[in-house]
Amino acid sequence: MAASGGTWLVVGLGNPGPEYEYSPHNIGFLVAERLGERNSIRITRPDSLALVGIGSISGAPVVIAKPQTYMNLSGGSVKLLRAKYEVPVDRILVVYDDLDLPWPSVRIRMKGSPAGHNGMKSLVSSLGSQEFPRLRVGVHPGHPLGSGKDFLLTPMKKAQREEAAPVLDYASEAVEAVVAEGVEKAMAKYNRRAPGSKEEA
């Protein structure tokens, strides 16, 4: 059964353009695309400064969006989409990368601060709220980084892209659980420990 309450807006964050397609910073786009594939939703329609797909998950109406404004301006697109589809802020689920979490951990949260993520800063500013759920995919490779920005914007090597496939499925399943069962049940089910970590991811 779908959690009651109307339409969900699922937003994957990333940067448009082929040079960023498989970068860690675009993990939100990649999860959105996999979620669309799993639910026969094509995310191809230009709408509100984003590419959008409309369909349903577990019987609930869903809009999946990939803002095309570059990461640090994503909030403008999400604000337009929220108004157009009349989505309450607590049904906007944002999927994005987190350099503070180890690869390949997944964490769902009910709400929270942007914690230095430029895309989330833009959303919080544009929506005027932090009270929306989010799913973070840890992308820290587990070794010292030079420039975090360079790492985030550099395409993943073939081996990491192969590793990413099950992570994208896992994160997509977690999104489906949020839509079907609500955020709290999905948190209990899908927030998992990172490999080798003693703390919850």
Give the count of domains, the chain. 1
Establish if 16 belongs to a structural domain. Answer: yes
pLDDT digits (tens, 9 = 90+) for 84-105: 999 999 999 999 998 888 887 8
CA–CA dist 185, 176 (Å, integer)? 11
Of 149, 138, 117, 192, whose CA–CA distance to 27 is shortest? 138
Full residue range of the structural domain in which residue 183 is found: 8-190
* Domain CATH code at residue 153: 3.40.50.1470
CA–CA dist 14, 57 (Å, integer)? 22
Of 197, 109, 172, whose CA–CA distance to 164 is shortest? 172
Q: 25, 117, 140, 143: which is the annotated catalytic residue?
A: 25
Establish if 169 belongs to a structural domain. Answer: yes
Question: Catalytic: 25?
Answer: yes
Structure tokens at 186: 């999905």
pTM: 0.90
pLDDT digits (tens, 9 = 90+) for 16-50: 999 998 998 899 999 999 999 999 999 999 999 99
CA–CA dist 178, 8 (Å, integer)? 10
User: 195 pLDDT band (50/70/90 cuts)?
Assistant: very low
For residue 56, what are the β-bridge partners? Answer: 61
Establish if 126 belongs to a structural domain. Answer: yes
